[in-house]
A and B are shown apart, each in its own frame.
Chain A
Amino acid sequence: MIVDTLIEEGVEVLFGYPGGAVLPIYDALYERRERITHVLTCHEQGAAHAADGYARAARRPGVVLATSGPGATNLVTGIATAYMDSTPLVALTGNVPLALLGRDSFQEVDIAGVTMPITKYNCIVKSPDMIRAGVRDAFAIARSGRPGPVLVDIPRDIAEAPCGAQCEKFHSPGVPVFSGREADEFARALARARRPVLLVGGGVVADGAGVTAAMLAERLGAPVCATLMGLGALPWDHPLFLGMLGRHGLPEANRAVEACDLLLAVGTRFTERAAEDRRQFAGQAKIFHIDIDPAEINKNIPADAALCGRAGAVMEALLARLPTAPREPWGAAFTPFARRAFPEPGTPRALIHTLWRLRTPGMTVVTDVGQHQMWTAQTYGFSRPGELITSGGLGAMGFGLGAAIGVAMARPGRRVALVTGDASLRMNIAELATAAALRLPISIFVLDNAGLGLVRQLQDEHCGGRRFAVAPGLRTDWVRLAEALGARGLSVDGADGSTPEAVIREALTAEGPCLTHCPVDPACNA
């Protein structure tokens, strides 16, 4: 019944790891193996990140399946990542038979209790008749409104019991709506701004509303900044696009936010990474906030006006109400991202710039977490929503490889470039074996600065340079490690006389997964 319901929900791929408590589910998957592809990872965390990456790339729920106890707890970081970045993820876990629940049985964990604060919803299915409703609700809740992860915990005997009459799904979530009058007022005030700036966040990317955002910016003559999650909403070469704002953002973007008299923020929650000093952030500006989640309005930054709804729908409603003639942009003093300075040769940013120049059509960029992530966000020119997939809210090192596998499964035939660091990649390197088994076209670029670069940078800035536990002195032969796990290994160290450009070019045409070791200067900061 569980697997049939997944098929009913349109699931084609799921990521997982078997175990005792999910044997009946795996047995059903065996029977339906023509209909639904199961991707076996090396660790449940990898499976959770893969399902997350799949969901972000495919823009529909990703599914992960794990057994009880350790299988379930290994999902936790992946579920939290999806929660913080509002990804629709359905996590199915097995559990011990109903009669053994609560008795500290072998491989028993109260995973519903553990994941309560990091899921949009979760439940334990306690009757076979509720399986279909439970799973269908999970999908409905995960994808509705502001998406998020949902966990369904299924005791083993419930999974294998014969089902009687099935309860229908009972949950019908809605999205917030606004009245025409509210939109009128909002649009009128918007039109009065002399120096508006548009800030696009993950909500614009998730709604695929980049084109609408660009139209709105043109209509308002507003320079555009993006949060990390909002990168790709506007194409890099849009004349109004200034790049990422915030702590690690581009100076132009931050200057525009400081100078504007109205900040129109769409699909962002103003985390402290984007708006570090809440009192001084956009100090001269009225804040106009659009979000699908009413609870984000006034949470971090008080809004002077707000509309709740899907990013695309709200921006279209505003476009319909604004004067049709595009306004002359006021921010001519700001250098658009397209005319940004070329990074200094030999730096990690230059490497990412080269990767960007050599990108293949339809290529997705996945990152891990750290300096390499910030360099990518600052340097790479993204053209479309969903082109960058990164762990923004949770900032989970080890996200990248699993996520890249999920993206590759969601976008078959297209290349995935994983930009990662030596420390991030080491966390879940085993998944390279998964990628190799599937011959996925994932090109991994390890920006190796021999340690935990971003922590080192923080210790230099905040701890008087007292560096500790950031240069583990681990010697990893990345090329041979890649080969050992069944992937190709390359290096841009120039030992064989080839240029970094030639190596990157080769890496981007490799057939299966290919790891490229990119030693970078540990002194470079983000």
Chain B
Amino acid sequence: MTDRFVLSVLVNNQFGVLTRIAGLFARRGYNIDALTVAETENPAFSRMTVVVGGDDYVLEQIVKQLMKQVDVRSVERLTRKDAIFRELLLVKVGSDPETRQDILALAGLFDARVTDWSEHALTIELTDQPDIITALIDRLRAYPILEICRTGLTAIPRGDTAGAPFALPTEGV
């Protein structure tokens, strides 16, 4: 059964790692729906959050192929239940004096901020779960959407601990 998985991948913060991981997905035929990456609290590492579609076979293969990479430190699967999912949306909506109030009300309903305001357009910013972001976009389709920018998902485990990555037992050579 095809599903979407969220993988949190800790990698060495090194030149070329993003290309290497993205290339791995591409050549093995895995579809990336979204990918975000940035340095972590330890500048030696970066955190990649990858949203990928596939069945259990694909998930197993992706995790194993990722763990084979020299630059990958850990791989963790996050679910909505045990992690906080967030995405940032910037959307520019065409507006005139007649529609402006409606758009502002809609933004208010979603706790979104208006970050830019000009004569014929409003730019709205929202940080939330991906499905809420999609819901706002759907509502805004009633007005002309001029441009959409979404960052893709980033995620962090809930609670006190830093998560439980997949681990393969190994020993030194």
Q: A: which residues have CB within 8 A of B?
A: 112-113, 116-117, 120-121, 123-124, 126, 140-141, 143-145, 171-179, 293-295, 297-299, 308
Contact = CB atoms under 8 A, between A and B. Distances in A.
Given A172-B172, A176-B170, A117 B70 contact: no
Contacts of B170: 174-177
Contact of B173 (A175, A295, A298, A299): A175
20 contacts: A116-B16, A116-B19, A121-B71, A123-B16, A124-B15, A140-B173, A141-B70, A144-B173, A171-B70, A173-B173, A175-B170, A175-B171, A175-B173, A176-B169, A177-B169, A177-B170, A178-B169, A293-B68, A294-B168, A308-B168
Contacts of B51: none
Contacts, number: 56
Contacts of B171: 174-175, 177
Contact of A116 (B15, B20, B67, B168): B20
B141 interface: no
Nearest to A121: B70
Interface in B55-108: 57, 60-61, 64-65, 67-68, 70-71
Contacts of A174: 170-173
Given A173-B173, A178-B169, A294-B168, A117 B67 contact: no
A295 B57 CA distance: 11
Interface in B158-173: 168-173
A179 B61 CA distance: 22
B63 to A, nearest CB: 9
Interface size of B as a range: 20 to 34
Nearest to A182: B169
A112 B64 contact: no
B168 A176 contact: yes
A141 B16 CA distance: 17
Interface string B131-173: 0000000000000000000000000000000000000111111
A113 B19 contact: yes
A150 to B, nearest CB: 9
A129 to B, nearest CB: 16
A377 B60 CA distance: 34
B169 A295 contact: no
Contact of A295 (B16, B64, B70): B64
A294 B64 contact: yes
A464 to B, nearest CB: 32
A75 B170 CA distance: 32
> What are the 10 tightest A-B residue pairs by CB atom distance, in nearest-first order?
A174-B170, A295-B64, A121-B70, A177-B169, A177-B171, A144-B173, A117-B27, A294-B64, A176-B170, A295-B68
